[in-house]
Amino acid sequence: MQLKKGQIIDLEIDAIAFGGRGIGRFEGRAVFVDGVMPGDKVRASLTRIKEKFMEAELVELVAKSAERIEPRCKHFGTCGGCKFQFMKYEDQLGVKKQHVIDALERIGGLKGVRVKNPIGSESEFYYRNKMEFTFGYDGEMNFALGMHLPGRRYDILDLDICYLQSELSVEILNRVREFCLERGWKPRKFTNNEGFLRSLYIREGKRTGEVMVNFVTSQSEGVDNIPKGFVEELEKLADIFGESVSSFYWTNVISKRGQRKRFEEKLIRGKSCLSEIMKLDNGDELKFDILPQAFFQVNTYAAESLYSQVLKYALVEPCKVAFDLYCGTGTIGLFLAKHLEKVLGIESNEEAVKAAVKNAKANGVDHIEFFTGDTGKLLKDLKESPDVVVIDPPRAGVTAKVIEQIDQFSPKTLVYVSCNPTTLARDLRLLTDLGFQLKEVQPVDMFPQTYHIETVCLLQR
Ligand X SMILES: C[S@@+](CC[C@H](N)C(=O)[O-])C[C@H]1O[C@@H](n2cnc3c(N)ncnc32)[C@H](O)[C@@H]1O
* Catalytic residue ranges: 419
What is the CB-side half-sphere exposure of residue 105 using CA atoms within 13 A? 11
Binding status of residue 363 toward ligand X by CB under 6 A: no
Binding status of residue 421 toward ligand X by CB under 6 A: no
Near ligand X by CB under 6 A: residue from 7, 123, 255, 349: 349
Binding status of residue 348 toward ligand X by CB under 6 A: yes
Looking at 39-47, 242-250, 328-336, 354-362, which segment touches ligand X (CB under 6 A)?
Answer: 328-336
The residues pairing with 449 across neighbouring beta strands, listed in sequence order, are: none
Cβ proximity to ligand X, 13 vs 327, nearer residue: 327
Alpha helices in 35-88 (DSSP H): none
What is the Cα–Cα distance from 333 to 401, expressed in whole angstroms? 22
Nearest approach, Cβ of residue 398 and ligand X (Å) = 9
Binding status of residue 332 toward ligand X by CB under 6 A: yes
Binding status of residue 185 toward ligand X by CB under 6 A: no
Binding status of residue 457 toward ligand X by CB under 6 A: no
| Distance from the Cα of residue 37 to its chain's centroid | 23
Near ligand X by CB under 6 A: residue from 326, 370, 371, 447: 326
Binding status of residue 214 toward ligand X by CB under 6 A: no
Looking at 94-102, 134-142, 211-219, 326-334, which segment touches ligand X (CB under 6 A)?
Answer: 326-334
Nearest approach, Cβ of residue 380 and ligand X (Å) = 13
Near ligand X by CB under 6 A: residue from 276, 347, 427, 445: 347
Binding status of residue 346 toward ligand X by CB under 6 A: yes
Closest-CA residue to 226 (of 269, 191, 197): 197
What is the Cα–Cα distance from 55 to 275, expressed in whole angstroms? 45
Total of chain residues touching ligand X, rule CB under 6 A: 18
Nearest approach, Cβ of residue 92 and ligand X (Å) = 21
Closest-CA residue to 271 (of 291, 287, 251): 291
Sheet holding 321-325, edge to edge: 368-372, 342-347, 321-325, 388-391, 413-418, 454-460, 437-444
Binding status of residue 328 toward ligand X by CB under 6 A: yes
What is the Cα–Cα distance from 255 to 250, expressed in whole angstroms? 16
Binding status of residue 45 toward ligand X by CB under 6 A: no
What is the Cα–Cα distance from 90 to 356, expressed in whole angstroms? 35
What is the Cα–Cα distance from 112 to 109, expressed in whole angstroms? 10
Question: DSSP letters along 324-342, please?
Answer: EES-TTSHHHHHHHTTSSE
Cβ proximity to ligand X, 194 vs 374, nearer residue: 374
Question: Nearest-CB residue to ligand X?
Answer: 328
Distances (CA, A) of 2 to 58, 109, 187: 21, 35, 48
Nearest approach, Cβ of residue 329 and ligand X (Å) = 6
Binding status of residue 352 toward ligand X by CB under 6 A: yes
**Binding interface with ligand X (CB under 6 A):** 297, 326-329, 331-332, 346-349, 352, 374-375, 392-394, 419
